Every structure is written in structure tokens, then in C-alpha cells.
């Protein structure tokens, strides 16, 4: 196995090229004016020696790094994974770079990972906080040390930017669809959500209740397993037909898998409506009626904030509008 470290430093290059280390630095970064031929010579010797810049040294000296940290609750949720993917692509159009860490659903992990990002001097931190309340201390820390943007979920803290979708409006879209396309006496409306420890779960449930104050509500977490369990609970409650509004596509997936397994038909017996509409979940069968989050716009908006581009209005809370995508899991009346 080859030598496992880069021992060629800037002063090795300087010595070899017969110049000072400052000159090497300038030649390589191109920041300062210098004679083109000397610059070329330096670059050539650097190349020959196999020189690589040590970004730790640079960042320490410059007091800034080009890393944007992204903290997600769980990469097994395709919505978060897809956000990470989109954001990666958007961030690399700048001179920054996105590094992703996953908290695995634990507030303790989350706090540790935030600390670690901060201690590594990230230029900015983007976080999807696990918990509306318990994530607050970690996030407060972040805010006081670096540019911090909350994504999709938020804590009840002022100070950090927030970018996400208008969850309540998403529920308006669903309510509209239900009013227009569903016979709710035959298929009464039921909600399957997540415990409202996260702001998105909270807002979606609020939005739902505004339209369906008397509908039964089942709360678990943002997992496909919970969707399966919820299906069991709904069936046990005696319902043999319903319009099920799920707070996330992964939950809808679990619902449908269990409803199918127990011999029920979708949408004839049970309609299923999801939320998120990105990643692989749009390929469920039957294709979900879901509220699609505007992930591209969200990602771009976050980059703008990270680069501290002047915004039209200096809002700390940016809400982007989702759209309803109707599929066979809860079709339109005419379709």
C-alpha cells in the first residue's frame, strides 16, 4: 500500500522552485498579480512533486471554510435524501461544497453533529431539526456561531432562517380535492400523521383539522412501518372504506402495502393521499395523489441565503407553494 499521507507542503514546492512559499501560494490561488511565467513554473513544479493543498491549513489561516453542512434526521426517508441530493447539486454551482450528516432520528446525535459541524468551522449550516422543541438548544448554538438555515422543519426559535413549503396550504389543496372528488359519506376522511414533535407534522395536522375537525386522527412517526401499523389500527376501528390522508408519502406507502395485503382495494375501498411527492415514492402503486413539495425552488432559495445574496424582502421565513398531483390512489371524479 502506498504512502498514506501527503507530506509535500507548500514550502517543499517553494524550495524546489527556488521561490518563497508566499509566491507559491499566490501562483496556486491566482489571487495576487504576478509574472505569468513564474506562476507557470511554480504550478509545474507543484504538479511534479504531487503537491495538494491542505485545506485545514488554509481554512485555519483564512478563518473560513468552503463547507456547507447539512444535517438531516434520517437518510432512509426518501424525501430527506432527495433534498440532500438536490441541495448538493445546487450548492456545487457555487464555490462551496455540501457535506451531509444524518442524526438517525436522535436529538442527542443531532446535537453532537451540530457541535461537530460548528467546531469544524462550516461556512453555513443547513438543518432539518428532528424536534420542534428539543432541537432548540442545538440550533441556538448553531445560530450564535454560524449562518444557520432551517429546512422543512423548524424549531420555535427566532433568529435562524427557515425555508420550507407551506404545509397548511398543502392541506388546503387536499381538502379541495376531497370536497370536489370524494363521496365522504362512503369514504369518510381519516388522518394518519406523525406525533407533532416536528413542525411539519404539526402544521400539516393543523391544516387538516381546519378542514376536518371531526375526523379521526392516528399519530405515529415518519416511517413506512408506522403506515403499516396505522392501517391495522384503522381496520380494527371498524372502517372498511375511507379516505386516508397521510402526512408523508413514506407513511402512505406503508398504508397501501398493508391495505393491499389484507385484501382491500385502492381507491375503491380506501383512498390514500400522501405528502412530499419527490424521490421514489411517486412510483408507488397505485400512483399516489400527493402534495408535491417544490424541492428545486427550496434548494435554490437556501443557496441564496447561504451565499447571503440580498433578498427582495429580508424575510426570515420563506414559504414556498406546493402543488397537488392527482393519481389513481385518489382519482378525480371524472377521471
The yes or no reply on residue 284 touching a second copy (CB under 8 A) is: yes
Closer residue to DNA, CB minimum distance, 53 or 257: 53
What is the smallest separation between the CB atom of 326 and a second copy, expressed in angstroms? 15
The yes or no reply on residue 76 touching a second copy (CB under 8 A) is: yes
CB of 234 within 8 A of CB of 248?
A: no
Site residues for a second copy, 152-211, by CB under 8 A, read 159
List the strands of the sheet with 242-246, edge to edge: 217-220, 189-194, 242-246, 270-276, 289-292, 323-325
Binding mask 42-61 for DNA (x = CB under 7 A): ---------xxxx--xx-xx
Closer residue to DNA, CB minimum distance, 29 or 225: 29
Q: Rounded to whole angstroms, how far apart are CA atoms 247 and 230?
A: 12
The yes or no reply on residue 9 touching a second copy (CB under 8 A) is: no
The size of the interface with a second copy (CB under 8 A), counted in residues, is: 65
**Residue carrying the nine cell digits 463547507:** 67
The yes or no reply on residue 22 touching DNA (CB under 7 A) is: yes
The yes or no reply on residue 269 touching a second copy (CB under 8 A) is: no
Find how far residue 120's CA is from the centre of its chain. Answer: 21
Terminus-to-terminus CA distance in the chain, angstroms? 64
What is the smallest separation between the CB atom of 2 and DNA, expressed in angstroms? 17
The yes or no reply on residue 144 touching DNA (CB under 7 A) is: no
With both helix axes pointing from N to C terminus, report the angle between 10-17 and 21-29 in degrees, rounded to the nearest 10.
100
The yes or no reply on residue 38 touching DNA (CB under 7 A) is: yes
Binds 192: which of DNA, a second copy, none (CB < 5-8 Å by kind): none
Three-class DSSP category at 146: coil
Q: Rounded to whole angstroms, how far apart are CA atoms 190 and 171?
A: 13
The yes or no reply on residue 95 touching a second copy (CB under 8 A) is: no
Candidates 218, 293, 290; CA nearest to 258 is 218
What is the smallest separation between the CB atom of 136 and a second copy, expressed in angstroms? 14
Cell of 200: 411539519
Amino acid at each position: 500500500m502506498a504512502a498514506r499521507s501527503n507530506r509535500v507542503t507548500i514550502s517543499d514546492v517553494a524550495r524546489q522552485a527556488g521561490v518563497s512559499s508566499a509566491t507559491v501560494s499566490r501562483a496556486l490561488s491566482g489571487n495576487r498579480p504576478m509574472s505569468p511565467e513564474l506562476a507557470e513554473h511554480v504550478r509545474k513544479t507543484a504538479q511534479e512533486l504531487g503537491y495538494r493543498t491542505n485545506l485545514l491549513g488554509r481554512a485555519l489561516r483564512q478563518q473560513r471554510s468552503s463547507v456547507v453542512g447539512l444535517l438531516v434526521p434520517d437518510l432512509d426517508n426518501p424525501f430527506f435524501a432527495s433534498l440532500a441530493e438536490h441541495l448538493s447539486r445546487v450548492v456545487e454551482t457555487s464555490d462551496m461544497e455540501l457535506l451531509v450528516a444524518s442524526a438517525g432520528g436522535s436529538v442527542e446525535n443531532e446535537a453532537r453533529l451540530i457541535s461537530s459541524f460548528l467546531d469544524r468551522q462550516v461556512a453555513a449550516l443547513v438543518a432539518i431539526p428532528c424536534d420542534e422543541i428539543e432541537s432548540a438548544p442545538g440550533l441556538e448554538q448553531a445560530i450564535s456561531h454560524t449562518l444557520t438555515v432551517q429546512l422543512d422543519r423548524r424549531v420555535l426559535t427566532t433568529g435562524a432562517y427557515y425555508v420550507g413549503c407551506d404545509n397548511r396550504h398543502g392541506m388546503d389543496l387536499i381538502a379541495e380535492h376531497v370536497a370536489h372528488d370524494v363521496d365522504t359519506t362512503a369514504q369518510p376522511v381519516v388522518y394518519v400523521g406523525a406525533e407533532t414533535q416536528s413542525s411539519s407534522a404539526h402544521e400539516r395536522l393543523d391544516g387538516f383539522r381546519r378542514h376536518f375537525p371531526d375526523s379521526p386522527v392516528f399519530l405515529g412517526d415518519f416511517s413506512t412501518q408506522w403506515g403499516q401499523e396505522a392501517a391495522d389500527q384503522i381496520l380494527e376501528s371498524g372502517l372498511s372504506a375511507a379516505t386516508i390522508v397521510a402526512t408523508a408519502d413514506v407513511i402512505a406507502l406503508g398504508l397501501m402495502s398493508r391495505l393491499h395485503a389484507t385484501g382491500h382495494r385502492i381507491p375503491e375501498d380506501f383512498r390514500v393521499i400522501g405528502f412530499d411527492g419527490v424521490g421514489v415514492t411517486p412510483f408507488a402503486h397505485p400512483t399516489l395523489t400527493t402534495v408535491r413539495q417544490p424541492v428545486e425552488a427550496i434548494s435554490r432559495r437556501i443557496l441564496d441565503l447561504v451565499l447571503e445574496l440580498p433578498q427582495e424582502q429580508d424575510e426570515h421565513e420563506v414559504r414556498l407553494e406546493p402543488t397537488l398531483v392527482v393519481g389513481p390512489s385518489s382519482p378525480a371524479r371524472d377521471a
